[in-house]
Amino acid sequence: MIVTEGLTKSYGKFPAVRDVSMEVRSGEVFGLLGPNGSGKTTTIRMILGLLRPSSGSAAVAGFDCWRESLQVRRRVSYLPGEVRLPGAARGYQLLKYLNALRGGVGLDRAVALAERVMGLDLSKKVRTFSTGMKQKLALAQAFADPVDVLILDEPTSALDPSARNIVLGLVAEARKAGQTVIFSGHVLSEVEQVADRVAIMRRGRLMHVEDMHERRRNLRLLLLRFQGTPPESLPEELQLSVRERNGEVLFLEHRGAVGPLLSWLHSQPVADLAIGTEDLRTLYDRYHGPNAEADAEDRR
């Protein structure tokens, strides 16, 4: 549904986004993670055709995001990270205006979502709304739009816990309805809860894309203490990789089938064993934690 190839955006000599190539599949929830300044919003704005890529390209449903941005925006609804709404308008008037820009469809659903689900009083002026209420209003509109793609930039940042749950529920509903969702956020547990795949960005680069289903199904971590020296090499067919080696102790990551692993363990002089899994935080910390892996690009 969304494809970027070598997408780059530079401001003078400063590269805000560097060589991002990714594919967001139709009907999936794609989490976009990274700290402030990592290039998430710039990438999103290039997808919407609000920013022109310095090089590379982005396309939604086959339409080039810069040259055919109108076609793209017909298919996409966007919730900005920092929602700013004209205060003089009443809630209902604003929804009416936004719907009129999309041909008038979706107003009833937007009103219903705003009033019944989000609990807003649409007869009030927007300037009397709190930040969270404004975000709810914008969310109601985004979820009501009859589009193929929803791009939500930090959609829960100003919301209370119950409203956050409502939003996560609406994201799940959107996926069920076949919509593609880009969910950019900082709350890892939320992204973990809703995303099918997660991309981690760092300093404008796409560092890693993780399939969350695959991860939940197949990823396990093993902490092994051997009687004596652990083996130098591991059988390739087991899909084991060493995360840490410390004397008799090996910390391994396993992504393969369980049967062959158990057989191999049985043949090894293992003194002790712990098997666990990993949350998104651990993955995120590999790129943004205190002991984050640095690569050649970071050292440049």
Partner 1 sequence: MTVLTIARRQLGETRWSLLFSAAAFFGLALLWNWGISEYQFREETPEESPPAAPSAEVNDGDASPTEEPTDDASRRRRRRGRPGPQVYVAFGVPGDRVLGLPPDQTPTLLMQVAMANHPLVFLVVLGWGIGRASAAVAGEIERGTLDLTLSRPVRRSTYMLAQLLAAVVVFGVLGLSIAAGHLVSDQFFRLNEPPSPADYLPMVASLAALGLAVFGYTLPISASDLSRARAGIIGLGITLAGIAALIFARQYEDYEWTADLSVFQYYAPVGITLEGSSEQYTDLSILLGIFAAGGLLALLAFSRRDLPSNSG
Question: Would you tell me which residues interact with partner 1 (CB under 8 A)?
Answer: 41, 45, 48, 50-52, 70, 73-74, 76-78, 80-82, 84-86, 88-89, 97-98, 100-102
Amino acid letter for position 235: P
Taking the complex as a whole, the smallest distance from the CB of residue 50 to partner 1 amounts, in Å, to 4
- Nearest CB to partner 1, comparing residues 96 and 286: 96
For partner 1, the closer of residues 70 and 262 by Cβ is 70
284/202 Cα distance (integer angstroms)? 10
Residue with Cβ nearer partner 1 (22 or 98) = 98
Backbone angles phi, psi at 6, to 5 degrees: 55, 35
Cα separation of 251 and 244, whole Å?
5
Question: 123: buried, middle or exposed (CB in 10 Å: 19+, 13-18, 0-12)?
Answer: exposed
Nearer CB in complex with partner 1: 72/261: 72
Rg (the chain; Cα; Å)? 23
Question: What minimum distance in Å lies between the beta carbon of 73 and partner 1?
Answer: 5
Amino acid 128 reads T
Q: Give the whole-angstrom CA distance, residue 132 versus residue 205.
A: 31
Taking the complex as a whole, the smallest distance from the CB of residue 70 to partner 1 amounts, in Å, to 6
Closest CA to 273 of 201, 205, 224, 207: 224
Compute, in degrees rounded to 10, the torsion defined by CA atoms 69, 71, 72, 74: 120
Least Å distance, CB 202 to partner 1, is: 18
- If we measure between CA atoms, which residue out of 208, 211, 184, 185 comes closest to residue 197? 211
Identity of the residue, 80 or 155, whose beta carbon is nearer to partner 1 in the bound complex: 80
- Closer to partner 1 by Cβ: residue 81 or 256: 81
| Sheet of 63-64, strand order | 14-24, 2-11, 55-60, 63-64
| 76 vs 191, beta carbon nearer partner 1 | 76
Q: Which of 58, 76, 72 is nearest to 151 (CA)?
A: 76
